[in-house]
A and B are shown apart, each in its own frame.
Chain A
């Protein structure tokens, strides 16, 4: 009996221990986790590793190595569950987790003592239904703009950031990305609006109460709003899927609404359940009032001028009913449309429109922005990698070029990510998943390398460029490798190629298609170095050639032409958008390679207006030979590049790295060799002989026999092997890469600025006051004054209202600025508390730094 009871007790204890363990908040930390975090007080967006000084963001510093290609001998990719990513790094199973962890994991990362970097991942907001409902007995308070505007004061974004996002994200007030390019350029306007719309529940209640009463609603004895005798019940669609943070966010907002008298019907739904309600239903049907919306970050975009139209106005290209139902202030409609359509001629005019639009957007508040979420990528202390301040490690082009083990040449790094080989890999319509692209980018090079800190671009394989824009277009030049000119008219040369005759496989010239002449808004000329064809090699050993470039140009047209053997209707929309602005391309010289491009599409930075025509297709780089055999298989109806055509024709989607595609591609490679096929012979035949073509095919065949795939690039690593079921990929060092490994060393880390403000503790009314601002790098070294675009400062009164915006002047010493509050400004201050806030706008990185100081205003 005793034994039985003992066993029962034992069983009970076992079960109890299991249950208790399961309920534990997090895994038991491993011994490494007990180490103190490296730094605990950094703002988001910064690496925790001690930085090396990087004097200027020039891409060609003095060589410190003789190694060519990537820093590492081998990079291994594997799929890792994000929940165990930190433990796996600690246990040595991986060195880096490149897919972002949500900001609510920040404390775990800090506790683990691992190094990490961060970037933006997306943003969340509360989207309101702006319609007056068909049922006249049901009141929609959010059809009232002032109530929507007042919601800004009802929400404590700092609290949300701390409580839901672990303090690791950025409170968001504005539709533009917080602390990125446009925000930085408009930092004074942004800070002023943020101060005005700071958390103020009393003000929110006051405004909402007044407006609700004006709408005919009344507060009952229990303090609840009623309309026509019924409670005003708000249907709140709260998403409970994704990263899980929208659930507490929605609950918080619901609580705030209940606190001012609303009854809230919280409907927790996942994406697929919510979409039919907020996307499809007629807003006037009143199936919802609010929704916890979320939007993807567009990366390091330098131009967010279309955001007002997209996110507020009935003219939104998104075309969703909720935008169509909004009735914005006519001025907002005009300003938002003008910005989106580029109806401005100078950058100053653009800035004024932007400032007005931001103000009107907050007044409209169809969406009340809440958080610009940050994501975090942990790694071992020894790992060094460039990251993009907007999109992290996986999406940008530069990280593969700079990934290394600190102080070491060679070695192996194991990278964990979220998934691999989610879709087939092919350059025309293959995998668009960021983790697949990350592996691919190790194997690729480009005409230009995007700057991960500013969104501009630097020449990689290209050497220099000239840009000519039509007079009156607001385009500026930032970097020295590009020359910017203006012209009253830009005439497209008669022999420029403007279209493609797919039936005859020949380019159509401007003279043929536009006999009366053709003009363009922008002309760019890209120059490649004289040794391009000697130094650049494909991984299969083939020399880079003009045919690779021409194949890229042809493929911009051919798949979208119904007469083409590889016609794919899914390519038509993107082609139409391309051709709507494209005005022509001309190969001025094949060796050295010089290409002119004419277009009506322009960006406000000259560097972004240059077309490289590098054979980098929408989903990866490829040699003409690889494209040629893919085209043969597609033309024969055995494979299709795009998922759309693959589904429609019920054939395999072309996959250069595995699956049934490989045997088919191999068959057509053999055919290309035996028949000495020159693809698009009427055009490429002028640049390529049959012998050259066969030699390229033979190289590709040898590559396939050795590696088992057709993924061939020109990048610093080559794809050595893939494990499709095992979800692994291995890339290895390419010693034939033309550049030294340290070519991009200056971009190892963003030159984020830190600012400190010093000055008097008291400001006397009517007397000038002077403060000193010191700007440094993170390691404390002075920030070069020449690297600082401007310093602005704002003066706040004791209510947090902005009274004055001033400009800082360079002082004595690098990174030192003097901020002076003129006497006539201090004369307007009232006695009591006051605050000055400085905003530093650096040039090498599109992220401002802030510093503030409080003082006492005395008579």
Chain B
């Protein structure tokens, strides 16, 4: 009887668990589907808006047509041989150049049609060919234009942002336990230094370390001519990395610590932390279990967003240091109205962001027991 009861009970429990499991699976699946569709629609809207903005709603066609007209005339008139041709031949030459260039740029098609083609190509990650820009190796493929610049970008942004992030979090955690100390006050006092952007420090660093002290290079990614030995090459790159990376780190260092320290302070004054302290728990345990753990979702979110932001580079800092990164590429593309490059860069960022946001929902559930996928908000 008891066995039967137990068996029945066990079966019932299994059914309940199974039902619960089915329910959870269905809930997660539904949530996933809805979330994916929502994110995809967001990406579509975002990318199409980028296309519209990058082309000023089609007005860029007018700009391009005028520039083509002007440049075609100048090119023909600047050529000594063309200058010597009869005027009607020169005029014909200019007209033909204009027609060819308009055709090459696709200006013989309405902007709306082209915008839809840009969108389709972007969503299918068919990044296609740039209009004006070349990759460093001379290719017009947007994929190569972006990929060839990616290593340099990741080197600069990765090095500087990761050092900045981890050093800020750990120093802030430490400072949050020493509220009012000398170092705490020093950090607060120096936090306004972050009002200046990285390139501002970059110019100073160049003046001090390159122009005056002559110990570090003015810019670029490697010595000129580049060393042939891979080890020397790597060391040369590291030497060139020092100033731009330092500029990024220094410009945000104190403010970043200050932000995290303030954030940790809020959690440090919670009742349960006070209780733990009163119980005499070691401060390392208090930090790890009582402060760091509840703040983990925020830290993870920040870290995840930081990782995808590495993709964007630092436009002006890269320009100041002539660092061959994606920031400069994107800036150049915007200046040239090179829509495929702008869209290519945007779509990759958009997809990375969407994926990150999507994954973060699951990560929250894993690291914070109060969060349930597809369920109600934690009370």
The chain A residues found within 8 Å of chain B, CB to CB, are: 3-4, 7-8, 10-12, 14-15, 18, 21-22, 27-28, 30, 76, 78-81, 84, 87-88, 90-93, 271-273, 275-276, 279-280, 295-296, 298-299, 301, 303, 306, 309-310, 315, 317-320, 337, 340-341, 414, 421-425, 569-570, 572-574, 576-578, 580-581, 601-603, 643-644, 646-648, 650, 652-653, 655, 657-661, 721, 723-728, 730
Whether B224 pairs with A424 at a CB distance below 8 angstroms is: no
Give the Cβ gap from B379 to chain A, nearest Cβ, in Å. 40
Contact A580 B225 (CB under 8 A): no
**How many residues on B have C-beta within 8 angstroms of the other chain's C-beta atoms?**
81
Q: Which chain B residues numbered 177 to 206 have a C-beta less than 8 Å away from chain A?
A: 182, 185-186, 188-193, 195-196, 200, 204, 206
Q: Decide if A318 touches B206 in the complex (CB within 8 Å).
A: no
> Is the Cβ of B85 less than 8 Å from the Cβ of A424?
no
Pairwise interchain contact A319-B73, C-beta atoms closer than 8 A: yes
Structural contact, B74 and A296, CB atoms closer than 8 A: yes
Please report the C-alpha to C-alpha distance between residue A580 and residue B91 in the assembled complex, in whole angstroms.
Answer: 13
> Is residue B100 within 8 Å, beta carbon to beta carbon, of the partner chain?
yes
A-B contact pairs, 19 of them (CB 8 A): A11-B191, A15-B192, A84-B211, A90-B211, A91-B210, A91-B214, A273-B63, A276-B62, A276-B63, A279-B69, A299-B80, A306-B83, A317-B87, A318-B73, A340-B87, A576-B96, A577-B85, A659-B135, A724-B137
Are the C-beta atoms of B185 and A3 separated by less than 8 Å?
Answer: yes
Q: A18 to B200, Cβ gap below 8 A? A: yes
B207 at interface, CB cutoff 8 A = yes
**B298 contacts the other chain (Cβ, under 8 Å)?**
no
Q: Given A88-B218, A577-B93, does the pair A728, B211 have CB atoms closer than 8 Å?
A: no
Inter-subunit contact B196/A341 (CB<8 Å): no
Bound-complex Cα distance A660 to B86 (A) = 41
Given A88-B218, A276-B62, A279-B69: A647 in contact with B77 (beta carbons within 8 A): no
Question: Would A730 and B192 count as touching, CB distance under 8 A?
Answer: no
Contacts of A659 in B (CB 8 A): 135, 137-139, 144
- For the complex with contacts A22-B196, A574-B93, 9 further pairs of A-B residues with Cβ separation under 8 Å are A3-B182, A7-B186, A91-B210, A91-B211, A93-B218, A299-B80, A577-B90, A647-B129, A725-B221
What CA separation (Å) do A271 and B90 show in the bound complex?
25
> Do residues B138 and A655 form an inter-chain contact, with CB atoms below 8 A?
yes
Nearest-neighbour CB distance to chain B for A243, whole angstroms, equals: 16
Decide if B324 is an interface residue (CB 8 Å cutoff): yes
Question: Closest residue of chain A to B336, judged by CB?
Answer: A272
Interface string of B230-272 (1 = CB under 8 A from A): 0000000000000000000000000000000000000000000
Best-buried of B139, B206, B210 by chain A (most CB within 10 Å): B139
User: Contact between A660 and B85 (Cβ–Cβ < 8 Å)?
Assistant: no
Distance (whole angstroms) from the CB of B322 to the closest CB of chain A: 6
Please determine whether A577 and B89 come into contact, CB atoms closer than 8 angstroms.
yes
With contact pairs A303-B83, A423-B134 given, residues A723 and B66 touching in the complex (Cβ less than 8 Å): no
Flag if B76 contacts A317 (CB, 8 Å).
Answer: yes
The reply on B222 being an interface residue by CB < 8 A is yes
Task: Give min CB distance, A760 to chain B, whole Å.
Answer: 46
A631 to B185, CA, bound (A): 70
**A91-B213 Cα distance, complex, nearest whole Å:** 9
| A74 shortest CB reach to chain B, Å | 8
Contacts between chains A and B (CB distance < 8 A), count: 240
Choose one: A298, A317, A570, A603; the contact of B91 (CB below 8 Å).
A317
Residues of B within 8 A of A93 (CB): 210, 217-218
Nearest A residue to B69, CB-CB:
A279
Checking A11, A80, A276, A730 against B190 with a beta-carbon cut-off of 8 angstroms, the contacting residue is A11
Q: How far is the CA of A3 from the CA of B83 in the complex (A)?
A: 75
* A573 and B67 contact, CB distance less than 8 A: no
A22 vs B190: C-alpha distance in the bound complex, in angstroms? Answer: 18
Interface string of B89-119 (1 = CB under 8 A from A): 1111111110011011000000000000000
Smallest distance from the beta carbon of B323 to chain A beta carbons, Å? 11
| Distance in angstroms between the alpha carbons of A652 and B224 in the assembled complex | 28
Distance of A18 Cα from B226 Cα, bound (Å): 35
Contacting pair A319 B193 (CB below 8 A):
no
**Most chain B CB inside 10 Å of its own CB: which residue of A276, A315, A318, A578:** A318
Instruction: Give which listed residue, B134, B186, B212, B324, contacts A424 with CB less than 8 A.
Output: B134
Q: Which B residues touch A11, using CB under 8 A?
A: 189-193
Inter-chain contact B189/A7, CB cutoff 8 Å: yes
- Say yes or no: is B140 at the interface (Cβ < 8 Å to chain A): yes
Question: What residues of chain B lie closer than 8 Å to A661, measured between beta carbons?
Answer: 138
Q: Which residue on A lies nearest to B324, using beta carbons?
A: A725
Nearest 7 A-B pairs (CB), nearest first? A659-B137, A7-B189, A424-B138, A275-B66, A655-B138, A573-B96, A317-B90
Q: Does B81 contact A (CB under 8 A)?
A: yes
- The interface residues of chain B lying within 8 Å CB-to-CB of A317 are 73, 76-77, 87, 90-91, 94
> Residues of A contacting B182 with CB < 8 Å?
3
- With contacts A78-B220, A309-B87, A659-B138 known, is A295 near B104, CB below 8 A? no
A652-B140, A660-B144 as given contacts; A726 in contact with B81, CB under 8 Å: no
Residues of chain B within 8 A (CB-CB) of A272 are 63, 67, 337
Write the B32-54 contact mask toward A (1 if CB under 8 angstroms, else 0): 00000000000000000000000
Asked if residues A30 and B212 are in contact (CB atoms below 8 Å), the reply is: yes
Complex partner residue of B100 from A21, A27, A340, A573, CB under 8 angstroms: A573
- Contact residue among A318, A320, A725 (Cβ-Cβ distance under 8 Å from B152): A725
B196–A18 contact, CB under 8 A?
yes
Is B136 positioned at the interface, with any CB of A under 8 Å from its CB? yes
